[in-house]
Amino acid sequence: MWERNARKLMLDLDLSRKEFTDKSKNQAELEIKLSSSYAECDSLKRDREELKLRLKESTINQSAKADSTKPESLIKIQKELENELKYQQESNANLAQQLKRSQESNIELVSLLQELEETIEQQKVEIENLSSLKFDFKERESSIARNSQANKNLVLQLQKLQESEKTLQVNVQLLEKALRDKTDEMENERNSNCQYLLHAEKEYKYKLSVKEEEIARLEEKLSNFIPRGHWEDMDHSIENYKNLSGEIEALKEKVQELEKDCAELTDENLDLLMKLKESDKNNIRNCGSYSDESEVIDPKCQISQLEEELEKKMSEEVQLAGFETSKHFTDIMVQLEMALHHMNKPWYNISSDESEKCDYFLQDLMSASKGNTTTMKARAEYVVSFLLEFNKILERRINKYAEILKHCEDEIKQSNSVVAETQEKLEDCILKLQKQENLKVTVEESYSNLGEELAQKSSEVENLVADLLSKEENTNFLLQQQSKLETQVADLQKTNSHLEDNLELVLRERNVTSECLENLKIDMIVLQNTVSSHASANKMLERKLEDLESEKHRLEKNLFRLQEENLQFQGCISGLESQISHIKDEKESCQLELDSSKSVAISLQDEIRNFKTGKDTYVSDLKQKSEDMQKHWLEARAECENLERENQKLQASVVTLHGESMKLKNSNLELKRENLELQEHCSEMVSQLRESKNSLSDCSKKVESLEDHLTSMLEDFSTREIKNQKEKLALVESLKQTFLEKITELESLQREVERLTREIYEAHKERERISFETQGEISILLADKAKLESSLQEALMEAKLTKSELEAALAESQSKVKGFKGELAASQRSYETLMAENEKMLKLLGSYRKSEEKFKTQMNDLELKLTISDYERQQLTKEMASLKVQLVNIPELQDEVSALKRKLMECTSAKGKLELTLQAVSRDYEELKAEKIFFSEKVYKLQEAMSDFEECKMQKIALEEKLLQKESALTENKILCAENADLRNGVCEIKKANIQFQQKIYQLEEEKAECLEKARALEEDLKLREEEMQTQGGKGYNGVDGHDKNPDAISMDHLAKIQCLKNELAEALDANNKYKIQLDRFMSMGYNNHTVTSKQSTVSGDVVTRQRYERTKSSLETELRDLRERYLQMSLKYAEVEAQREDLVMKLKANKGGKRWFS
């Protein structure tokens, strides 16, 4: 489980990393887009300024053309204004250059800030990686803890299982002893019960024989006692009584047969009890024992019922006797009935005295009946008195024997209670036997489970060994990652120090920019005093100044934010150091846990050995159980016969399924008819698609004609613009801008037209694709049609049932098709309207933007309708697919029927296979047992080898760690020595460079002073010469021919010299500014280097100064290259401006010469 969780977590980590990289890429792309948009905005602003300048120049040119007709008095004013304009243009140019420089410096600052932000983001990414690594460490540690806990739980489970096995073995032994005792007790009780039953049967037989003898004697006495007149009736009653005695004898024979059955059943019960020890099925025993005992009890009930029936018959037959003639005979009959009733009872073992008395009374009766002296009445009275006395005697004996009977019944009840108790004990024993057998089954299952668990645990032990190896590898990997983390922390500290240096640089550059801004403000104040007419330009400059100030504030905010982030990074670094120390502690705990897990593995090996010894004893038990399994196999055969009966039932269900399949075939025929109708609808749809294709081709032709019209319009427009260029040469630049804007608009219109044509073409392609798909579906449907026609003859019966449903489906499909047709017509109409609107849009290019939105909305509606139509078409295809699925399901049902038949055959074949597998299983078991013993010995040897290998590995790791520590200490000492030497050399070189820069600064300041003095002198000379030129210009016409050439040449020489001086001045000023900036930077870098070296001298072993020095050196070299390139660009621009100035001077001179000539 923990491995799966680890894999899931690793996958989640990979996904999160991928998402993070994607987000960082997107962020970089967005930043690039932002920078490009800023650049575009700047370019647009520059273009706007250039357009404004061109407009001003065009207005000046137009005003110059308009004022060319003015009188000569205004020419001087115009010249003065032109000179002022030139001066102001030059000042504006200088200000523009200064603004560009400030913008470039701002751009550089922004680039530096972007680099700082990128480095900060990289650090954040590294911190996140470190946090993810920490999370991985925690997860791995938690997984190690879980594994240790799982190992502990496994050990506890093994101990519990062993204890449970021992307890089960003890319980099994106890239960076996209890079973043996109880079976012995049951056998003894059964034997005693059988003996008691035999003794009771003998007593009952003896009593019955005594009763029969007494009945015979009474019959003889009665035959002598009854008078002759009633002999016939008595004979009749005697015959009835003989019949009853015959029935009694038959009943006795039945009782004897029942007793034989009882004896047989008792024997069978004993046999069953012997079989109970060997059999496992509990229900059969219960049923057998219960039925046998019920059969033992049933004969007693039958005997009692038979005796009651005999009594009833005797009483009825005695009542039918012929003593109804007189009242005395009724009394005699009553008394005889009583006597017979008493005699029929089973308790008249009469003593000899009482039998003599009965004989005496009977003899008296016989003598009374023979004597003729008395009358019948006296004889009858005598008989009645005799019978009364006889009944009294019988009642006495009956009471005595009733007491004896009660005593016997009590004994019988006691014996029955004993029998019931024995039965209950038997049932309890049977239940216990069942429980023991269940326990045996559970024990067998547990033994099998334990065997499986043993195999699993052996595999788990192997897995644990592999896990231990992997964990050792993981610990090594964690050590490597820890070293990497330490290096990353050192890198982060270096980057933090570098960021601090960069922050100081940025602060100094900000100070420089603030000074530049203050200088610009001073220059702006001077310009406001001098140039009041150019308010618009000044406002633009003020806005730029405000922008610069806002950027300055923004930079300050960014600096504060960077400082705060640096503080946060420092806190993160301290947290990471604490985490590293925590990881080290956890690593030590992990090693301790690994040692404990090894000890646990050794204890598991010992337990496995003990378990093997218990398992060998279990194998002997399994052999006995295999013999029991053979008996179960005989019972399984009976179950197989039941399965054959169930198979017959399944065949009957197969027949019903076949009938249902016939019904489905009939429904398929109707579905095929519906498919034919749908094919007709599809053909109609295909024709409609063809019509739509034709309409699309017409629309494409119209679009092509519109494109031709557009091209012609463009050509006309270009010709008109060429004519306008020829007519208006003065306004060429302004018209170019408007022309370019119109061209861009036309290109956008062309692109939109091309986009529309592409969309139409794509729609056309989609329609063709849809038609192609429909043709493919039609071909598929035709193939299905050929298949369905073959199966039409089988499915005619069920057409009537599904016809109504299909008609409803057809109605729905027709309504949908009508809806589709209406939507297609509406789409065609809307498409025609769109084409008309497209023509209007092409004709009215001016009002294109207003109508564009309407066109887009209509196109969206059309796309929605098309998507709706496609969705409904997909639904129709799904319905068709569902119908096809229903068609396909019929052979599947047939396949299921055939599969059921195959299963029946397989069941029959499986019976024979199972008989063979039983024999194979017993053989395989013995082989597996031998293999298991062999493998257990191998596992033990491997575990011993693994323990030795792990000890060697631990020793090796400890030695390697010591070596690494010593090597790292040596390398650190070497690095520190080399760094100290490099730092000393670097400090000396920096001092030398600072001295050289200071000398250069003094030289440049002296050159600057000299240049300023020269510039002042030159300006004074210029002013004097301009005054002389003005005085010379006011002279007469006569000196024109003789003196024109010399002043022109002199003015040209002066102008050339002035230009050279100005060039030299500008170059010197630029060089001074550049050297100042460079010196400031060098000074700041030198100061930084000094501070850093002072800090590093305190902290032993820092290598950061050399890297910083190299970085600063490379950055200074790149800055020098940039300065040189900028200087070249500025010189070229200045040369172009000077050339324009010379051209203007030449034009002015030409104008002056012409005017003088005419004057």
Distance CA 709, CA 703 (A): 10
CA-CA distance, 709 to 842, in Å (whole number)? 8
Residue 76 falls inside a structural domain: no
Query: Other CB atoms closer than 10 Å to residue 541's CB: what's the count?
Result: 21
Residue 71 φ then ψ, to 5°: -75, 170
- At residue 173 the predicted structure's pLDDT band, cuts being 50, 70 and 90, is confident
Min mean pLDDT across 634-643, 940-949, 1001-1010, 1031-1040 is at 1031-1040
- Mean pLDDT confidence for 385-407: 68
Structural domain contains residue 973 = yes
Residue 572 lies in a domain: no
pLDDT of residue 231: 47
On average, the pLDDT of the chain sits at 65
With CA atoms as reference, report the closest residue to 350 among 252, 217, 201, 204: 217
Q: pLDDT grade, residue 648 (50/70/90)?
A: confident
Residues 996 and 1144 in one domain: no
Task: State whether residue 543 is helix, strand or coil.
Answer: helix
CA distances from 802 to 465, 590, 793, 813 (A): 68, 74, 17, 16
Shared domain check, 844 and 737:
yes
848 and 990 part of one domain: yes
- Angle, helices 732-790 vs 848-1033, to 10°: value is 160
The structure tokens listed for 793 are 């003859």
pLDDT at 1016 over 70: yes
Q: Are residues 1060 and 996 in the same domain?
A: no
In tens, the pLDDT along 11-38 reads 766 776 677 677 777 777 777 776 776 7
Same-domain pairing of 1055 and 933: no
What does the pLDDT average to over 993-1002? Answer: 69
How far apart are alpha carbons 560 and 27 in whole angstroms? Answer: 23
Contact 102, 516 (CB under 8 A): yes
Kindly list the distances between the CA atom of residue 440 and the CA atoms of 116, 446, 786, in Å, as whole numbers in the listed order: 79, 9, 66
Domain boundary among 430, 456, 482: 456
Q: How large is the average pLDDT for residues 466-471?
A: 68
pLDDT, one tens digit per residue, over 1047-1093 is: 444 445 545 555 665 566 566 566 556 655 655 554 554 444 444 44
CA 435 from chain centre, in angstroms, equals 47
Is the alpha carbon torsion for 1045, 1046, 1050, 1051 positive or negative? negative
CA distances from 298 to 255, 303, 434 (A): 11, 9, 28
> pLDDT at position 958, please?
77
Give the total number of structural domains in the chain: 3
E strand or H helix at 690, and its extent?
A: helix 535-727
Are 1058 and 955 in the same domain?
no
Q: Is residue 35 in some structural domain? A: no
For residues 992-1013, one letter each, b for 16 or more C-beta atoms within 10 angstroms of the residue's C-beta and e for the rest, the string is eebeeeeeebeebeeebeebee
Residue 864 reports pLDDT greater than 70: yes
Find which of 788-792, 873-877, 1153-1157 is predicted with most confidence, using mean pLDDT: 873-877
Q: Are residues 213 and 319 in the same domain?
A: yes
Range of the domain at 1095: 1044-1158
pLDDT in the model for residue 688 = 67
Buried b (16+ CB within 10 A) or exposed e, 362-394: beebeebbeeeeeeeeebbebbbebbeebbebb
What is the reported pLDDT for 554? 72
Residue 76, CA atoms < 13 Å, CB-side half-sphere: 6
- Residue 1035 falls in which region: left (phi positive, over 0), alpha (psi -120 to 50) or beta: beta
Q: What percent of the chain has pLDDT over 70?
A: 29
pLDDT bucket at 899, cuts 50 / 70 / 90: confident
* pLDDT value, residue 156: 76
CA distances (Å), 831 to each of 191, 228, 300, 768, in order? 110, 139, 107, 17
Residue 374 has pLDDT above 60, yes or no: no
1060 and 948 in a single domain? The answer is: no
**Structural domain includes residue 953:** yes
**Which of 110-114, 367-371, 719-723, 904-908 holds the top average pLDDT?**
904-908
Among the candidates 456, 485, 511, a domain finishes at 456
Cα–Cα distance measured from residue 361 to residue 890, given in angstroms and rounded to the nearest whole number: 101
Return d(Cα 210, Cα 348) in angstroms, integer: 9
pLDDT of residue 86: 72
CA distances from 227 to 34, 235, 336, 357, 369 (A): 150, 12, 14, 21, 7
Q: What is the pLDDT of residue 1026?
A: 73
Which SS3 state, helix, strand or coil, does residue 8 take? helix
CA angle, 1012 as apex, 1007 and 1014 as ends, to 5°?
95
What is the C-alpha separation between 988 and 1086, in angstroms, rounded? 11
Nearest alpha carbon to residue 1159 among 151, 75, 64: 75
- What sign does the CA torsion over 1066, 1069, 1075, 1076 have? negative
Query: Does the CA dihedral 1002-1006-1007-1011 come out positive or negative?
Result: positive
Please check whether residue 705 lies inside any domain of the structure.
no
Report in angstroms the alpha-carbon separations of 982 from 832, 985, 989, 1116.
84, 5, 11, 20
Same domain, 970 and 1056: no
DSSP string, 471-537: HHHHHHHHHHHHHHHHHHHHHHHHHHHHHHHHHHHHHHHHHHHHHHHHHHHHHHHHHHHH--S-HHH
Cα separation, 994 vs 421, in Å, equals 122
Task: Give phi and psi for 558, each to the nearest 5.
Answer: -60, -35
664 Cβ partners below 8 Å, 6+ apart? 795, 798, 886, 889, 890, 893
307 occurs within a structural domain = yes
Q: Count other Cβ atoms within 10 Å, centred on residue 1117.
A: 10
Of 230 and 574, the structure prediction assigns the larger pLDDT to 574
On whether the CB atoms of residues 950 and 468 are closer than 8 A, the answer is yes
> How confident is the model at residue 43, as a pLDDT?
72
Confirm if 562 and 503 have CB atoms less than 8 A apart. yes
Per-residue pLDDT, averaged over 857-869, amounts to 72
Residue burial 613-650, b: 16+ Cβ < 10 Å; e: rest = eebeebeeebeeeeeeeeeeeeeeeeeeeeeeeebeeb
272 in Cβ contact with 288 (< 8 Å): yes
Tell me how far CA of residue 1019 lies from CA of 596, 729, 1111, in angstroms.
97, 39, 46
Claim to verify: residue 988 and residue 1056 sit in the same structural domain: no
Burial of 1109 (0-12, 13-18, 19+ CB in 10 A): buried
Q: Is-contact 494 518, C-beta < 8 A?
A: no
- How far is C-alpha 383 from the chain's CA centre? 112
Q: Specify whether 910 is located in the same domain as 791.
A: yes
Question: What is the CB neighbour count within 10 angstroms for residue 18?
Answer: 10
Distance CA 278, CA 291 (A): 20
Could you tell me the end-to-end alpha-carbon distance of the chain, in angstroms, rounded to an integer?
111
Q: For 431-456, what is the mean pLDDT? A: 65
Domain boundary among 431, 456, 481: 456
Say whether both 894 and 967 belong to one domain. Answer: yes
Tell whether 669 is covered by a domain: no
- Taking the C-alpha atoms of residue 453 and residue 456, their distance in angstroms, rounded to an integer, is 5
Q: Please state, in angstroms and rounded to a whole number, the distance separating the CA atoms of residues 95 and 73.
A: 34
* Rounded Cα–Cα distance for residues 510 and 521 (Å): 16
Tokens of 680: 């007709």
Contact 730, 862 (CB under 8 A): no
Which of 445, 443, 444, 447 lies closest to 611 in space, CA to CA?
447
Q: Which two tokens stand for residue 671?
A: 């579905």
61-86 average pLDDT score = 62
Contact 348, 401 (CB under 8 A): yes
Instruction: Give mean pLDDT, residues 998-1015.
Output: 70
CB 681 within 8 A of CB 699: no
Query: What's the gap between Cα 208 and its chain centre?
Result: 90
Checking 1138-1145 for CB contacts under 8 A at 24+ apart, the result is 1138/1059, 1138/1062, 1138/1063, 1141/86, 1141/1059, 1142/1055, 1142/1059, 1144/86, 1145/1055
